[in-house]
Structure 1
Amino acid sequence: MFSILQRSNSNPNSLIRKGVSFISTYYLGKNPKNDLFPRLSSIRDPNTNVGQVLDQWVEEGKRVKEPEVQRIVRELRSRKLFSHALQIAELACKVLEWTKIKGLFPFSSGDCAVQLNLIGVVHGLNAAETYFDNLSDEEKDDKTYGALLSCYVREGLIDKSISHWEKMKDIGCVSSPLPYNNIMCLYAQSGQLEKVPDVLSEMKKDGIHPNNFSYKICMNSYGERSDTNSMEKMVKELESRPHISIDWTIYSSLANCYIKAGLKEKALIALRKLEKKLDKDALGYNHLISLYGHLGNKDEVLRLWGVHKAVCKKQLNRDYITILGTLVKLGELDEAETVLKGWELSCHTYDFRVPNVLLIGYCQYGLIEKAEAMLQKIIKTGKIPIPNSWALIALAYSDTGNMEKAIGCMKEALALNTQNSGWKPKPRLLSSLLNWLSEKGEVEEVEAFVSSLKMVIPVNREMYHALLKASIRVGMEVSEILESMKSDQIDEDEDTLKILSYKN
């Protein structure tokens, strides 16, 4: 019943352990005496019927309460577990399905709306529409109609979304800003930014009070069009309405628009207002630091980093990536080195995305040897880098024409790929390396390099062309290469024929 692993390419045993442990720990409670934690966390077989586990829990006289299920589903929907998001959504869907079948408590239209949305995510739009069509008249209200609208918007179906939205208004199923917000998001995502303010105006005309998100969408649409005048008017409108809570994101959008327009003084005023709204919001400090970085204000960047550390207590890797990226942008590499040392002393898990920011900075400023030396030093401490750490240095060497070093660094990256299956090297880098190898490298070296590449990306014409060039250059027979190329369903093109024409 809980087949959450069918759509995943990840190791199923690993995924089910992560998913079940995540749910058990955070959403079913943390006291092993009173919740499902021991039962669910003991599951190791991905084919286990989790529904039977829940059935047994109830048969033992233990309860699954409505607020508990609602909390589980709400949290599952709000947490995006990277590549596991689809499996988690399916699991949430199955929790609701099990609850509805068992009839443990009344299934409201709100529950139906949540399940409809999840069905759309997991099983697709047709399944969501079928679910909606099978609902009773009592269950078809503003919540379920709104959930179906969300499915249409998520798929980017403009005509269908507008038609459904108009029907909702005609039958009186619009009682909140949510449908209007969905339509504004749809227009924004489809590039029709000029239509977003019109929807906000229509919302007000229809007697629906916009919420914070409504204004944020509209603000962003003005920002994307660099319409500072309209942004200013909207902020003044918000500031004059005490029932609307203005958070830091409004002033962040305004400041960003001013910066793009070159209005530095106005941007500084907006940034000061932004800071007053932060309290202990770490993400807000990240935005503020980055915006001051765009203004080139090193002193404010360092001041705010100090405030961030004092106010927020704990800094995440995300926070260090922001401050390091800002300092690199400003050319303050010495300051960045100091921040990185602080991170290395405090971090519990070594995330190579953090030092990569400084590695990129070194490469951007022409300090490629320093970047490589830094990476080698980290490796000597026992840390295993991600392939991209070597690849970014390889790209820098390639851009400066030092192809031997570029090849060496790329080989290091490829050797690490077994531990980082999601990594893909930049096409521009690969083209440069393959072209150089085909002209300068030994045939065996080209073969080994292409063989390593096949572990990372699908074999392509460019790889075969490199093999053909290298082989023809030294007078080797290429019939086997052409046969292999044919078996991989890669047809000969004009470039292939040109390469073959060089053959004596």
Structure 2
Amino acid sequence: MKLFRSNPWRGFAISRVFGAFFYHTETIPRSAPQIDSLYLRILQAGDPRVPIVRVIDQWLEEGRDVQNSELHILIKQFRKCRRFKHALQISEWSSEHRNPNPFPGHIAVRLDLISKVHGLEEAEKYLDSIPDTSRITSHVYGALLKCYAEHKSLDKAEATMQKMRELGFLKSSLPYNDMLTLYSRMGKTEKLDSLMQEMERKGIDWDKFTGSIRLNAYAATSDIKGMEKLLMKMEADPEITICWNAYASAANGYLKAGLHEKTIEMLKKAEQLVSGKTRKSAYEIFLTLYAAIQNKAEVYRIWTLYGGIGKVWNSGYLSMMSSLVKLDDLDGAEKILEEWVSVTTFLDFRIPRVLITAYCEKGLLEKAEAYIDRFKESGMEVDPITLDRLASGYHAHGQVEKAVETMKQALLAGLPGFKPNRFILAEHLEYLKEKGDVEAAEEILRLLRENCHFSTAICEKLRSHIHVESPSCRKGT
């Protein structure tokens, strides 16, 4: 059902049925298994800050039942669309009410979710509560290694990898890929080759990601010769199946080196290998790379291909919008935004934010305001990140009063983890100090403290600065 055809922004006035989908890149596909109305009720719960278990409890109070398999499907779907809080809540409910002695695979999933939602320390506490008989398995150790790698905890990751060697758990490419990725992200490229050589000695085949990770590492250091040598080796080895990711990685390497013709050559090779479920993800990467070399014709060609394979994901619209903005094709971006609004079922603020940010950067503040006003008129509260971008636009173009008020609105929204532009924040506080409006400055600092935007120490330092050389200002509370 096309909710926005008659009024493109009416959808924002719909209740928070779709609220949760502002927080992730893609929506839960319509083809996902429909677990009677429980599945739909959980989708409609919306805001990820609202405990999802209330829906399950209400379902049971109505005399209905829920199968463990249904819960596992929900966890899988929520992980897929990055609704980690809801996935964790369902996992915790399942352990408490249905499965007090989970299998190692379930422990691994839970460990990953806790790490993403609450951090490494809480994940380690959970692991310590698991009996050795369930904890010392390849599934659990593999999940632990992934957690350490994602949080860039190098020493603990290396210790876990060594423990997995001793226990004989290194039998697939997955843990090696995690370590390869970690070393690459931390700039320790000298350790990559020895790790890949270990895989060869143990007879562990590369999967479709292994070569791509190494190619990306070469690209990151602009080692074109190393990248080309590895790519030739992969192409010549009949045991290695090259996928589109590898050529996309090589294209990125050539892009960073300024070799645009070679970039296009690699992208053409990558495109020939795209198939099946990876097609949409591949096209999104191609859009980004073609935009980076300012090839508008190829961007639109890939977009046409993308649209021809079925429903376009929110992440696809986000990639296309970002690409067109990078190409300075704002007219094209406006058309894509209207297309998205006319067909989307689940909203993602990041998509219109791309265009609003571009307007702000170019000083087209009236256009940015017009889009935001359409949000407000529909009854939907504008997200703080978008407001922060608007505040930055006002600030950059000399409208300081509007900038201060808009930043205050962004802080009032109280989005966890949101951090305003600290440089602009400092200038706003300085402006209020010079104006003598210490009360307004104190209000901003109060909002910063209450919503944990910055540490207490930083807030107190800013507060002290406000009162320096201002003897007439009263002390804040």
Q: TM-score, normalised by structure 2?
A: 0.74
C-alpha deviation, 1:385, in angstroms? 3.0
Out of 235, 239, 261, the position equivalent to 2:235 is 239
Does residue 421 (structure 1) correspond to residue 415 (structure 2)? The answer is yes
Tell me, yes or no, if the aligned pair for 2:287 and 2:302 is still in contact at 8 Å. Answer: yes
Residue matched to 1:128: 127
Residue matched to 1:80: 82
Q: Secondary structure at the match of 2:271?
A: helix
Identity among equivalent positions (%) equals 28
Call closer, same or farther: CA 1:426–1:120 in 2, change over 3 Å. closer
Out of 26, 31, 35, the position equivalent to 2:36 is 31
Does residue 301 (structure 1) correspond to residue 299 (structure 2)? The answer is yes
Call closer, same or farther: CA 1:298–1:196 in 2, change over 3 Å. same
Call closer, same or farther: CA 1:160–1:399 in 2, change over 3 Å. closer
Residue matched to 1:266: 262
Q: Aligned residue pairs: how many?
A: 436
AA aligned opposite 2:91:
A
Residue matched to 1:173: 169
Tell me, yes or no, if the aligned pair for 2:234 and 2:242 is still in contact at 8 Å. Answer: yes
Residue matched to 2:5: none
C-alpha deviation, 1:189, in angstroms? 3.7
Alignment of 1:93-492 (within 5 A): 95-96=94-95, 101=100, 110=105, 123-129=122-128, 131=130, 134-135=132-133, 140-150=136-146, 152-153=148-149, 156-241=152-237, 244-279=240-275, 281-309=279-307, 311-348=308-345, 351-372=348-369, 375-376=372-373, 379=376, 384-400=381-397, 402=398, 405-415=399-409, 417-419=411-413, 421-422=415-416, 423-440=418-435, 443=437, 446-448=438-440, 450-452=442-444, 454-457=446-449, 459-463=459-463, 465-466=465-466, 472=471, 477-478=472-473, 481-482=474-475, 484=476
Q: Distance in 1 between matches of 2:200 and 2:274?
A: 29
Call closer, same or farther: CA 1:219–1:98 in 2, change over 3 Å. farther
Q: Distance in 2 between matches of 1:389 and 1:239?
A: 45
Q: Distance in 2 between matches of 1:286 and 1:214?
A: 21
C-alpha deviation, 1:259, in angstroms? 0.7
Call closer, same or farther: CA 1:334–1:245 in 2, change over 3 Å. same
Call closer, same or farther: CA 1:204–1:87 in 2, change over 3 Å. same
| Structure 1 segments unaligned to the other structure (5+ residues) | 1-13, 488-504
Q: Distance in 2 between matches of 1:267 and 1:206?
A: 34
C-alpha deviation, 1:370, in angstroms? 4.5
Residue matched to 1:495: none
Q: Secondary structure at the match of 1:183?
A: helix
CA RMSD of aligned residues (A): 4.4
Q: Distance in 2 between matches of 1:460 and 1:264?
A: 50
Q: Secondary structure at the match of 1:289?
A: helix
Call closer, same or farther: CA 1:420–1:274 in 2, change over 3 Å. farther
Call closer, same or farther: CA 1:183–1:346 in 2, change over 3 Å. closer
C-alpha deviation, 1:271, in angstroms? 1.1
Q: Distance in 1 between matches of 2:259 and 2:290?
A: 13
Q: Distance in 2 between matches of 1:292 and 1:283?
A: 15
Q: Secondary structure at the match of 1:312?
A: coil
Q: Which has the higher contact order (CA 8 A, sep 6+)?
A: 2
AA aligned opposite 1:328:
V
Q: Distance in 1 between matches of 2:379 and 2:74?
A: 39
State which drifts further: 409-418 or 193-202. 409-418
| Structure 2 segments unaligned to the other structure (5+ residues) | 1-15, 22-26, 451-458
Mark the structure with the bigger radius of gyration. 1
C-alpha deviation, 1:167, in angstroms? 4.3
Q: TM-score, normalised by structure 1?
A: 0.70
